[in-house]
Amino acid sequence: MSATARKKAPNAEDIRARKGGQPLVSLTAYTTPMAQVMDPHCDFVLVGDSVGMVLHGLTSTLGVTMEMMILHGQAVARGLNGAMMVIDMPFASYEEGPTQAFRNAARLMAETGAGAVKLEGGVEMAETIRFLTKRGIPVMAHIGLTPQSINTLGGYKVQGRDAQADAVLADAHAVSDAGAFSVVLEKVPRVLADQITAEVAIPTIGIGASAGCDGQILVVDDMLGFFTAFKPKFVKRYADLGAQADSAIAQYAAEVRDRSFPAAEHVFADTVPAKGNT
């Protein structure tokens, strides 16, 4: 079946079943039109808390709120037809414990229609992941570089080099054993990402990890060249839409100033000669 003919979005168990199969394709989305563009091409779409940096100009994801996630989740849901929607739990909405996590995860799913939540953390989040999955909330885990912890990680550094490798490996096993249906590996050395992919039973979704992962995800504004504040090594620019937007807007500004816009075809005649010409 062609991607555009798909009707039923995959659910968490469909994603889990893709372990070792054709690589899973995923991007972040925050708006309806962008969700519509990527829907035919993606297996799942993540409403990432990167929305705070990408669309709201925040300097980290720490200021993202439940209300922001719900608003963007609802917008993305309106643009999806065949891809699954996963939504990020924002900073401070789940770390207090399983009960807080359940309350906020249930709200995110109920108010947006997302099929799963994503949360950051490994061993320390295993109990929460188990609690959620036993109560009907599919969880995608996120380990390695966890941007909500930049203040304790000391910045956006690669995680799992040398002596750190065992800890990241333990995180991967912990979230898998706790019932997560998949795990994002962010900024993890390739060899370690490949080892995790070989050892855990759930699909690994790489971002700055390895082509050997069970799937890949990128922040859409990064790969389209819209978000240019910084460019991590792992981002491949598939387009340069920021530069295209800049030159289009510069041309518009010049045409407004020299009065060549609007032209005759963009304005209305002062009489209505034919029926229906309004």
Site residues (vs ligand KIV, CB under 6 A):
28, 46, 48-50, 88, 142, 184, 207, 217, 219
Q: Considering the complex, state which of residue 53 and residue 200 has its C-beta at the smaller distance from ligand KIV.
A: 53
Q: Is 265 marked active-site?
A: no
Which of residues 67 and 246 has its CB atom nearest to ligand KIV in the complex? 67
Q: Least distance (Å) from ligand KIV to the CB of residue 64?
A: 9
- Between CA 254 and CA 115 the distance in angstroms is 46
> Distance between alpha carbon 222 and the CA centroid of its chain, in Å?
11
Q: Which residue has tokens 């380990």?
A: 143
Minimal distance, residue 251 CB to ligand KIV, in Å: 32
What is the number of the residue whose Cβ is closest to ligand KIV? Answer: 48
Q: Which is nearer to ligand KIV, 10 or 48 (CB)?
A: 48
Identity of the residue, 222 or 256, whose beta carbon is nearer to ligand KIV in the bound complex: 222
Residue whose CB is less far from ligand KIV, 10 or 208:
208
Nearest distance, CB of residue 148 and ligand KIV, angstroms: 9
Distance CA 164, CA 206 (A): 18
Sign for the CA dihedral angle at 175, 176, 182, 186 comes to positive
Instruction: Give the pair of three-digit tokens for residue 49.
Output: 């808390």
Contact 52, 64 (CB under 8 A): yes
List all residues 6 or more positions away from 240 whose beta carbon is below 8 Å from its beta carbon: 225
Shortest Cβ 207–ligand KIV spacing (Å): 5
Instruction: For 25, list phi and psi in degrees, rounded to 5.
Output: -110, 130
CB of 146 to ligand KIV, least distance (A): 9
| DSSP H or E segment with residue 218 | strand 215-218
- Angle, vertex CA 132, rays to CA 186 and CA 22, nearest 5: 45
Q: Which is nearer to ligand KIV, 46 or 80 (CB)?
A: 46
Please say whether the beta carbons of 196 and 185 come within 8 A. Answer: yes
Q: How far is CA 74 from CA 114, 136, 259, in A?
A: 9, 20, 40
- Asked if 23 and 69 count as a contact pair (C-beta separation under 8 A), the reply is no
Q: H-helix or E-strand containing 46? A: strand 44-47
Question: Out of 95, 96, 124, 186, which one is annotated catalytic?
Answer: 186
The catalytic residue positions are: 186
